[in-house]
Amino acid sequence: MGCGRVGSGLAVGLERLGHEVAVVDREPHAFRRLTADFHGRQVVGIGFDRTVLVEAGIEGAGAFAAVSSGDNSNIIAARVARENFGVQRVVARIYDPKRAAVFERLGIPTVATVPWTTDRFLRMLLPDGASTAWRDPSGTVAVLQLPLHEDWVGRSVRNLEAATGARVAFIVRFGRGVLPDGKNLLQADDQVYAAAVSGTVTAVTAAAAEPPPVS
Amino acid sequence: MRVAIAGAGAVGRSIAAELIEKSHQVMLIERDAAQMDTQQVEAAEWVHADACELGSLEEAGLERCDVVVAATGDDKVNLVVSLLAKTEFAVRRVAARVNDPHNEWLFTEAWGVDVAVSTPRMLAAVVEEAVSVGDLVRLMTLRRGQASLIEVTLPEDTPLAGLPVRHLDLPTDAALVTILRDGRVIVPQADDPMEGGDELLFVAAIDVEPDLRAALDR
């Protein structure tokens, strides 16, 4: 659902990979974004309307992508595809991060446009050591490389986790990945990658840049 | 009773005013600052927020509401609000406004809606009721869509004239509730005769409507 820039790109891309694709959009001129060699079904209509979806072939569909410009439309269409038509793989795009909780509750996988874009900018604008290495598509959790204050050497991973509120996902030590077990002690030149919940990244980074708390 | 109304347009505000008059506590949730005309319904608690945002509903304390009315002019919003009210806040009763009849099929328990109100459909039913004689007219759907209030106006030359009510071989799950005749409301007894021009009101399960129609033709 949705033949905007993302929707049309997705449609053409999927077809090139050999899949059978149908696209639904409210506006007939949206389909102009599709390439001339696209030969999937193009249906004009509202993406959560029963008759429109059936016309687009949802009854035999293996997957459904809701990429319209409206978060609510995407929520409703995604749920209808899954609950009413039994489509197994359903993914929705969301613009407004505050809607993320709703999608999450409904168990609909999402791609959150804004956090992803923000992240990419941050990674390209900021100096090393202060950006996320990976962010989950829902935009709610990230893995970041964590520069440490030198006094952390010799302290345990568990200490670091307690001080920052993050979880150490893995450490790259002398070019090899290490999965810590909490008791591991941090060594000089360790590249520490921590998992943190969105919104805490700054606090986590700041805590790691401080010397360990005196306990 | 504590009622939250999403959408403070003309519909939302008039519902609020009526409920306040009956001494209920009303909260009006409106996203658009331009519509926040608090003076229009001063006794209500006004909340400037997006009713589709979980955080806003948490802040507004939706779990303390007995009833939520999704009264915006956008069916998508009404569906999402209804779902959140039911699944996240366990609100006892959720009523939703249906703007486009094409979307009516969505407004069910699956989306948290206990009662769906579709103005176009109600208007159509009222018009139908005024003009059709001899046909079944569904005035209202009750109890989550399982039963309806149905009206039939007997034609003047009806073959049922003079026959007692017990002559009607009604299917199970259908009941003749009232006969309206010359401004009177008659509670029908089995031996009461029917007359041409009578308005018969039934409450019947939707799936027995064809049998009901057949019973009236006999």
d(C-alpha B184, C-alpha B198), whole Å: 10
Q: Which residues in chain B are contacts of A83 at CB distance < 8 A?
A: 110
E-assigned strands of chain B?
A: 2-6, 25-30, 45-48, 67-70, 93-98, 115-118, 137-142, 147-153, 174-181, 184-186, 199-205
User: Domains in chain A: how many in total?
Assistant: 2
| Surface of B (96-135) touching A: CB under 8 A | 102-103, 105-106, 110
If one compares A55 and B142, the residue with the highest pLDDT of the two is: A55
Per-residue pLDDT of A84-119, as tens digits, reads 999 999 999 988 877 777 787 788 888 888 877 887
Q: Where are the alpha helices (H) located in chain B, listed in sequence order?
A: 10-21, 54-60, 75-87, 119-131, 209-217
Average pLDDT estimate for A142-169: 92
Q: Is residue A115 part of a domain?
A: no
Give me A129's structure tokens. Answer: 């050591």
Tell me which H or E stretch contains A197.
strand A191-197
Contacts of A17 (CB under 8 A, 6+ apart): none
Residue to test with chain B: of A73, A76, A84, A85, most B Cβ within 10 A? A76
Q: B45 in contact with A at a CB cutoff of 8 Å? A: no
Residues A90 and A136 in one domain: no
Contacts of B53 in chain A (CB under 8 A): 96, 98-99
- Please compute the mean of the pLDDT values over residues A69-90 and round it to a whole number: 94
Q: Same domain for A18 and A96? A: yes
Instruction: Please check whether residue A23 lies inside any domain of the structure.
Output: yes
Mean pLDDT is lowest, of A23-32, A124-133, A169-178, for A124-133
In tens, the pLDDT along B153-170 reads: 998 999 999 999 999 999
Please identify which residue in the block is written with the tokens 């991060």: A97
Q: What is the DSSP string of A71-129?
A: HHHHHHHHHIIIIIT--SEEEEEES-GGGHHHHHHHT--EEEHHHHHHHHHHHHHSPTT
- For the segment A150-166, the average pLDDT, to the nearest whole number, is 92
Give me the CATH number covering residue A99. 3.40.50.720
Is residue A215 domain-resident? no
Task: Give the mean model confidence (pLDDT) for residues B193-209.
Answer: 92
User: How far is residue A77's CA from residue A98's CA, in Å, rounded to a whole number?
Assistant: 19
| Cβ-Cβ contacts under 8 Å, B84 against chain A | 102
Residue B135: pLDDT band with limits 50, 70, 90: confident
Task: Quote ipTM for the complex.
Answer: 0.72
CATH 3.40.50.720 maps onto chain B at: 2-117
B57: amino acid identity, one letter: L
> Cα distance from B141 to chain A (closest Cα, Å)?
22
Its CATH architecture, for the domain B132-217, is 2-Layer Sandwich (3.30)
Chain B's closest residue to A52, CA to CA, is: B102
Structural domain range at position A171: 129-209
Q: Do A10 and A80 share a domain, yes or no?
A: yes
Q: How confident is the model at residue A131 (pLDDT cuts 50, 70, 90)?
A: low
b/e B193-218 (16+ beta carbons within 10 angstroms → b)? ebbeebebbbbbbeebbebbeebbee
Q: What is the pLDDT of residue B120?
A: 81
Contact B106 A101 (CB under 8 A): no
Instruction: Verify whether the Cβ–Cβ distance B55 to A98 is below 8 Å.
Output: yes
- Closest chain A CA to residue B107: A76
**Tokens standing for residue B214:** 């057949």
Higher pLDDT, A211 or A98: A211
Mutation target among B50, B57, B83, B88 for the A interface, most CBs of A within 10 A: B83
A48 has a chain B CB within 8 A of its CB: yes
The answer, yes or no, to whether residue B143 has pLDDT greater than 70, is no
Confidence check: pLDDT of A78 > 90: yes
CB contact under 8 A, A49 and B88: no
Q: Per-residue pLDDT for A129 more than 60?
A: no
pLDDT of A15 higher than 60: yes
Residue A70: closest CA among chain B residues belongs to which residue? B76
CATH of the domain at A157: 3.30.70.1450
- SS3 state at A212: coil
Question: Is residue A64 over pLDDT 90?
Answer: yes
Looking at domain B2-117, what is its CATH homologous superfamily?
Answer: NAD(P)-binding Rossmann-like Domain (3.40.50.720)
Residues A42 and A102 grouped into a single domain: yes
Cβ–Cβ of B106/A80 closer than 8 Å? yes
Cβ atoms within 10 Å of A189's Cβ, excluding its own = 8
Instruction: Look up residue B88 and give its two tokens.
Output: 């996240």
Cα(A140)–Cα(A133) distance, integer angstroms:
14
> Which chain A residues are closer than 8 Å to B72 by Cβ?
none
pLDDT at B148: 87
Give the residue from chain B lying closest to A101, CA to CA. B54
pLDDT tens, position by position, B32-43 = 999 898 888 999
Mean pLDDT, residues B52-63 taken together: 92
CB–CB of A70 and B52 under 8 A? no
Q: Using the predicted structure, report yes or no on whether residue A130 has a pLDDT greater than 60.
A: no
Q: How far apart are CA A214 and CA A105, in angstroms?
A: 40
Asked if residue A92 and residue A47 are part of one domain, the reply reads: yes
3-state helix, strand, coil in chain A (%, to 5): 40, 25, 35
Is there a contact between A102 and B84 if contact means CB atoms under 8 Å apart?
Answer: yes
- Domain ranges in chain B with CATH number 3.30.70.1450: 132-217
Residues A96 and A21 in one domain: yes
Residue A105 C-alpha from the chain's centroid: 16
Same domain, A104 and A134: no
Q: What mean pLDDT comes out for the span A23-48? A: 95
Q: Which of B198, B173, B194, B204 is nearest to B184 (CA)?
A: B198
